[in-house]
Structure 1
Amino acid sequence: MKRYLPLLLAMPLAGCLNFGGKPPKALLTLTATSTLPVGSTQNSATAKTITILVPAVPQSLAVARIPVTTGDQVAYVTNAAWVEAPQRLFARLMSDTISAKTGRVVLSSAQAFSDPGARLSGELRNFGVDGSTGQAVVTFDGALIRTGDGNKVEKKRFEARVPISPVDYTTVGPALNQAANQVAGEVADWVGN
């Protein structure tokens, strides 16, 4: 009986313990509309390479929640969260899109130690909802160093806006996915030139 005493004493407290907040109703991710077919092989001996770095983000995006910005105020969509940091999801989406649209071999920073090829970095400035216009907004400031250009940096801003109504956990995911794919496609066209 003595060995069961701690268990019996802890039972009344079991309902009082909470190891985190209430889970969201929706966990969101991004899905690329342009991808290589499963089983495709790429070779850096026959194709150009590019290293895609995870973009920098402002603090409002450095969380798993989806911001809704109205003027100088930021709130977050209730009952929705990203399954992973949004900047990592966006980098992966760009990798899939650039690989599919340009034929380039996309390398991670860990794979690019010997020959990184071109390098794409930047800042994901907006990745949420503009509350005043009711639009999902993705804004990416890209910085590209092309192979053979030394340290010359090209910069370009990309933005996509997709109407969203109502703004809730069921509508933000598809709208942001559409906007992110539009931006990734435009970045792929820029990189491919």
Structure 2
Amino acid sequence: MTKLFVPAMAALLLAGCGPLVQLGGNSPAPATLLVLRAAAPPPSWAGPTPLAETLSVAVPDVPAELQTLRLPVQVGAAGVQYLAGASWTEQPNRQFQRLLADTLAGAGVPVLDTRSGTVSPARALTGHLREFGLDVRGGPVVRVRYDAQLAGPRGGGTVALRSFVAEEAVASQQPEAVAGALNRAANRLATEVAAWVKG
């Protein structure tokens, strides 16, 4: 009886200590997590806004290499690696969507958050974030490419399509330097998108 009791008690004690193996626990945590931010915070809305002027901004689709918290490095026509020590706080397409929405709001476009309301916006901005990383095939540059689709106004039966690209040379391939260059490129691109949407 004692021989059976000891292993059973040991198993119960181990179970109470929590998991012995944690997912991702074998890799050290990065020293810094990377974020994207709009160059200027969006304004505080006040007063009524015509529904015909409202817009929603969708989280853009991304290729497989961007469905991660890592930062892709284009090393060849068919080769991608990831920058050592670089990790985003959340996937770049979600951060880009927020930066884009904040930039549009800062430019005077009423952006509705469709996740937390029942009001349907007059127009919808969707798209594909095709590139968002470092390219070292020539002089190292960061590149952001966003293929935008602007639908509306409602019932208009038209969709406007346009591709936006922003690049910036980088002197250092340290994660924070690359993320800073990507943030600046993304802000320039978002400003161009805002001018297009307003026009």
TM-score by length of 2: 0.83
Aligned residue for 1:75?
Answer: 81
Question: Which one of 107, 120, 123 corresponds to residue 125 of structure 2?
Answer: 120
1:75 to 1:43, Cα distance in 2 relative to 1, 3 A? farther
Runs of 4+ in structure 1 over 3 Å off:
16-19, 111-114
CA separation of 1:70/1:43 partners in 2, compared to 1, >3 Å: closer, same or farther?
A: farther
Is 1:106 the counterpart of 2:114? The answer is no
Answer yes or no: is the 8 Å Cα contact 2:57–2:126 preserved in 1.
yes
Partner of 1:170: 176
SS in 1 for 2:102: helix
**Structure 1 residue 41, shift from structure 2 partner:** 2.5
Q: CA deviation at 1:168?
A: 1.9
Please list every run of 5 or more consecutive structure 2 residues that lacks an aligned counterpart in the other structure: 1-5
Q: 1:190 to 1:87 in 2, by over 3 A?
A: same
CA distance in 2, matches of 1:31, 1:128: 16
Unaligned runs of at least 5 residues, structure 1: none
- The structural deviation recorded for 1:6 is 4.2
User: SS where residue 183 of structure 1 aligns?
Assistant: helix
Residue-by-residue CA offset, 1:19-44 (whole Å, 9 max, x unaligned): 4222122211111013334x442633
2:35 corresponds to 1:29: yes
Identity of aligned residues (%): 34
The separation in 2 between residues aligned to 1:55 and 1:111, in whole angstroms, is: 19
TM-score by length of 1: 0.85
Alignment of 1:184 with 2:190, yes or no, is yes
Task: Name the counterpart of 2:71.
Answer: 66
When the two structures are aligned, how many residues end up with a matched partner? 187
Structure with the bigger percentage of strand: 1
